[in-house]
Amino acid sequence: MKDFAIIGQEARSTTEAFGKALLELADQHPEVCALSADLAGSVKVTIMQKKYPERVFDVGIAEQNMMSMAAGLALGGLVPYAATFSVFASLRDLDQIHTDICYQNANVKMLGSHGGTSFSQAGSTHHALEDIAALRGMANLTIICPADYIETQLATKAVYEKFGPMYIRINRGTDYDVYNTYDYGFEIGKAVRMNEGKDFTVIACGSMVYQALIAAESLKEKGVSLRVVNMHTIKPIDKEEIISAMKETGGIITAEDHNVIGALGSAVAEVVAENGGVKKFKRLGVPDEFSIIGARKDILAHYEIDAAGIEKNVLELLGK
């Protein structure tokens, strides 16, 4: 692995990472404000609220109104961070994001927490498996899915520096660290190659990066060199890194905690198809169904997006 990459032993809250980064931004920039929809504690907007209560607005269970309010605040010169669960931040608010935010190119920063199956036993009503697919076609919108605590903080600050609508997607609970430093060169739209594998490539986002790194270490013992790419920005996607994987390794697997339709796997497949294709390609994620309910580790194992499932699929595609 690269010097900055680790298989962390410590799991830390990405929502807390967001909340702390938001407070740092608020300390430095008086135009930063925040909105939540009766979930300020869950998305850690309360960290900012304790110090700047006059700059945090809780709209109640009215996510659609929250996004329209955020658009108005942005058009008035503020920089609003609107935070709620991913499933609500996308599906419930789709019209407001489309017309009030993206169509206006309003400088709104959206945070969707509890992404993918990370709400585990809350079930399909609270699993966000369509959010990236629903939002990826929105003009002007940037979509980021950070891998861990450090990357969540960097992404939260980076979207402030870039004008326009942004959507950051993180998990509920905690994620294991995959970075040991803040100085690895995070850049919106630029993937991070975590190691230099040559036999096959896994392109992952979010907490799947950690799972892919574990798979790579296990495969190394079996004589397989697996490249792991953290594609933290889903849109705009890093085409150059995908093309490098096509040319330099034996195939590509994508791994995401999302439906396989319309998100990371589809975005990578589009680049692959437009650039000559690869002999071996597979998308790992939740298939075209509503997700099962249970402990998250069991859900990931069921859909083969944990380390063991990634390793199994790599070996199958390599014919081993």
Query: What order of strands is seen across the sheet that includes strand 281-286?
Result: 192-193, 226-230, 200-204, 252-259, 281-286
Q: Supply the angle between the helices 264-274 and 239-248 in degrees, to the nearest 10.
A: 70
pLDDT beyond 90 at 23:
yes
The pLDDT score that the predictor gives to residue 123 is 87
Say which CATH number the domain at 49 has: 3.40.50.970
Any domain includes 185: no
pLDDT in tens, 247-293: 999 999 999 999 999 999 999 999 999 999 999 999 999 999 999 99
Q: Which of 142, 176, 210 is the last residue of a domain?
A: 176
Say whether both 156 and 200 belong to one domain.
Answer: no
Q: Are residues 84 and 204 in the same domain?
A: no
Query: pTM above 0.85?
Result: yes
Question: Which sign does the torsion angle of CA 305, 309, 310, 314 carry?
Answer: negative
Percent of the chain scored above 70 by pLDDT?
Answer: 100
Query: What local confidence, expressed as pLDDT, does residue 1 receive?
Result: 86
Question: Do residue 50 and residue 196 come from a single domain?
Answer: no
Distance of CA 219 to the CA centre of its chain: 25
Query: 218: part of which helix (H) or strand (E)?
Result: helix 208-221
Per-residue pLDDT of 173-216, as tens digits, reads 889 999 999 999 999 999 999 999 999 999 999 999 999 999 99
pLDDT attached to residue 20: 98
- Looking at the fold, whether 15 and 121 belong to one and the same domain comes out as yes
Say how many C-beta atoms besides its own lie within 10 A of residue 14's C-beta: 32
Say whether both 208 and 110 belong to one domain. Answer: no
Give the pLDDT confidence score for residue 291 in this predicted structure: 95
Q: What are phi and psi of 26, to 5 degrees?
A: -65, -35
**Arithmetic mean of pLDDT, 68-95:** 97
Residues 143 and 162: their CA atoms lie apart, in Å, by: 12
Cα separation of the two ends of the chain? 23
Does residue 169 sit in the same domain as residue 35? Answer: yes
Q: Does some domain include residue 229?
A: yes
Residue 152 has pLDDT above 90, yes or no: yes
3-state secondary structure of 25: helix
DSSP 235: E
**Claim to verify: residue 39 and residue 116 sit in the same structural domain:** yes
Does residue 25 sit in the same domain as residue 170? yes
pLDDT at 10: 85
Within-domain flag for 134: yes
Q: What is the pLDDT of residue 173?
A: 81
Whole-angstrom distance, CA of residue 41 vs CA of residue 84? 10
Average pLDDT value for residue range 78-99 = 97
67 and 143 housed in the same domain:
yes
**Together in a domain, 204 and 276:** yes
Same domain, 226 and 289: yes
Q: Is-contact 45 113, C-beta < 8 A?
A: no
What confidence tens digit (pLDDT) does each residue in 33-64 have? 999 999 999 999 999 999 999 999 999 999 99
| Closest to 234 measured CA to CA, from 266, 208, 202 | 266
Q: Specify the DSSP element, H or E, that contains 247.
A: helix 239-248
Domain housing 274: 192-317
Stretch 314-318: mean pLDDT, rounded? 97
Residues 171/113, Cβ–Cβ less than 8 Å: yes
Q: Determine, yes or no, domain membership for 19.
A: yes
Three-state SS at 225: coil
- Tell which residue, 105, 116, 115, has the closest CA to residue 164: 105
Quote the number of domains for the chain.
2
Averaged pLDDT of the chain: 97
Is the pLDDT assigned to residue 320 strictly greater than 90?
A: no
Average pLDDT score over residue span 146-153: 98
